[in-house]
Amino acid sequence: MVAQVIDGKAFAAKVRAQVADQVAKLKEENGITPGLAVVLVGEDPASQVYVRSKGKMTVEVGMNSYEHKLDADTSEEDLLALIDKLNNDPAVHGILVQLPLPKHLNEDLVINSIDPAKDVDGFHISNVGLLGTGQKSMVPCTPLGCLMMLRDHHGSLSGMDAVVIGRSNIVGKPMAQLLLGDSCTVTIAHSRTKDLPDVVRRADIVVAAVGRPEMVPGDWIKEGATVIDVGINRIERDGKNKLVGDVDYASAAERAGAITPVPGGVGPMTIACLLANTLTAACRANGLPEPEG
């Protein structure tokens, strides 16, 4: 068996095109332009790349992009004051504080200072609680992108056995909630799970989000399973830097029915879902029907 490649790059381009069409319609019919504010504290190289990419794609779909770049030694008081200003700015519908923050800043305090209705990352404790109880919320972008790819590939996920490897608040836990919402039977596995290979082998769906390069070998994968690899790990191989996932792609692709590549799988969907969340937030803020799809 040779796995079907789930092309996240192509799917994300389709999502962004849909968002752009709906943004144009929102402008034409209601005179509203969704606005996304991104706050970057410090000069983490990876974060700078992400912020540039987010800003570029925000503009490409017709939204307003507001970038706030702060020094690494910015005080918590000043950062919270900026977030308060953005919370009260009607032109800003989505607020994203790029993580990780410098160590002197309390990430939980900062994230929970964002207006939950503008929390397009879906990290605010209110959105976490709403998602966990099956209510309308802002959904974290990476798990949302994974779910969209799974739905696109399978149609209905009802009754499928899903294993999520990783229990982070950003991916693992919300991914499990979304899969439960689609009537999967869900196991959250992690580094201390007993007989982890056997747990993974029974899964129809494997979502790997553990942050360890190529931790999941192909012989852990059930024949025909769908593998969603969230990991993005930079390693050195044959004297060259290379990006790999949490799954050993070559061996897993021989057993899986479908698999996401790294790069070009989950990553592009994260930004596409951020834009979709910003559009949703703009519609909700103005009492308009939420965009479909």
Under 8 Å between Cβ of 30 and 68: no
Q: What are the CB-based long-range contacts (under 8 Å, 24+) for 126-131?
A: 128/169, 128/174, 131/174, 131/177, 131/178
HEC assignment per residue over the chain:
CCCEECCHHHHHHHHHHHHHHHHHHHHHHHCCCCEEEEEEECCCHHHHHHHHHHHHHHHHCCCEEEEEEECCCCCHHHHHHHHHHHHCCCCCCEEEECCCCCCCCCHHHHHCCCCHHHECCCCCHHHHHHHHCCCCCCCCHHHHHHHHHHHHHHCCCCCCEEEEECCCCCCHHHHHHHHHHCCCEEEEECCCCCCHHHHHHCCCEEEECCCCCCCECHHHCCCCCEEEECCCEEEEECCEEEEECCECHHHHHCCCCEECCCCCCHHHHHHHHHHHHHHHHHHHHCCCCCCCC
Q: Is 56 a catalytic residue?
A: no
Q: Is 173 a catalytic residue?
A: no
Catalytic residue among 54, 118, 173, 222: 54
Catalytic residue among 98, 115, 204, 248: 98
Q: Which residues pair with 84 in a beta bridge?
A: none
Catalytic residue among 121, 204, 246, 248: 121
Q: Is 22 a catalytic residue?
A: no
Q: Which residues are catalytic?
A: 54, 98, 121
